[in-house]
Chains A and B, each alone.
Chain A
């Protein structure tokens, strides 16, 4: 299965700042997704990162707050903008390889906002 590298693994940020999270895969993948896991909660899909076009956001998530890029089939970034303490979560990148299931996950980025 694909090997997913996510950076940074953790960060502590000041409110009002922005952080960009990178997701690199060692092979070309069909689908890339970004999830949020709030403390003690399950995973919620933020958006599907589409290669060469705008991401598809789920209800409750907007591009201005969570801009996403996917310049090619192996790389994507998620930016958490204008952060507040409520954004303190684990953010996970997930991929779905061409023609197959299931989804695999990176180790996540543990984000704390002060």
Chain B
């Protein structure tokens, strides 16, 4: 079945460092890909999405490109802030109507000043 694999955390960075969180997927067909973020004590918020190959999703300085040839959707940010400390989840959704999200295990990011 479909699955998502994320790099293990935690990831600990200093403010203004470059961030990469790797995400690869296994799916039949052409899924949509997402990054969600969960700040401490809160629910999940959609960070960005991409619905087809070579699409680049971006939001709040974060970017991820849908790479079908490598089945990847890595999250990047050029300069992290303390406020970016959170858990990041990569997820996919199949193209059939009513398909729910399949999540990776999540990666905890901790940014220090």
Contact B103 A101 (CB under 8 A): no
CA of A96 to CA of B32, assembled, Å: 14
Most chain-B Cβ atoms within 10 A of its Cβ — which of A31, A43, A45, A107? A43
Chain A interface residue number, banded? 20 to 34
Q: Is the interface of A mostly helix, strand, loop or mixed?
A: strand
Q: In which size bucket is the chain B interface?
A: 20 to 34
B27 interfacial contact with A, CB 8 Å: no
Q: Do residues A92 and B106 form an inter-chain contact, with CB atoms below 8 A? A: no
Q: A23-58: which residues lie under 8 A (CB-CB) from chain B?
A: 30-31, 33, 41-43, 45, 48
CB distance from B100 to the nearest CB of A (A): 5
Residues of A within 8 A of B98 (CB): 30-31, 48, 96
A contact set with B: CB distance below 8 Å: 6, 30-31, 33, 41-43, 45, 48, 92, 94, 96, 101-108
Residues of B near any A CB (own CB < 8 A): 32, 34, 36, 42-46, 49, 51, 89, 93, 98, 100-106
